[in-house]
Amino acid sequence: MPTILNPYLSFRDNARDAMNFYQSVFGGELTLSTFGDFQASEDPAEAEKIMHGMLTTTQGLVLMGADTPNSMEYHAGSAISVSLSGDNEAELRGYYEKLSGDGGAVTVPMEKAPWGDVFGMCTDRFGVSWLVNVNSGQATAAP
């Protein structure tokens, strides 16, 4: 099996809501395990928090996420963005619309970028930044 890089998102108390939202955007199978499932927290109030969530789609996308225990430091909106790219403009625009809607915000509208691709940026309602790039087939690479 080759090495795989998967985004793993951190939340304070709303990983369940976030991962269910991402499943509504991307489809796929979602598995959620709580701290209580594995007796992984000494704080009974954290038993229902998500210790590990994984969304796997038929397109090969894998997105993971978890709640951060109260005993650990949490940095909302850390300095990372999740990037989606490909050739299927309808699919990618659909993701962009769902991610930026319902409490999300458009940072850069989906439009032709200087490098020739269609590109947009948004922040979803959970504060996660997304970059969406539709490949134009030109030789220049997107940033």
Give the CATH architecture of domain 81-134: Roll (3.10)
Mean pLDDT of 31-56: 90
- Chain mean pLDDT for the chain: 89
Length of the chain: 143
The Cα 142–Cα 133 span in angstroms is 8
The Cα 3–Cα 128 span in angstroms is 24
Sequence-distant (6+) residues with CB within 8 A of 55 are: 19, 22, 23, 26, 28, 29, 30, 61, 62, 63, 64
The pLDDT of residue 85 is above 50:
yes
Beta bridge partners of 136: none
Percent of the chain surpassing pLDDT 70: 92
How confident is the model at residue 119, as a pLDDT?
A: 94
Outline which parts of the chain fall under CATH 3.10.180.10. Answer: 8-67, 81-134
- Give the domain 8-67 fold: 2,3-Dihydroxybiphenyl 1,2-Dioxygenase; domain 1 (3.10.180)
Distance set, CA 130 to CA 61, 96, 100 (Å): 14, 8, 9
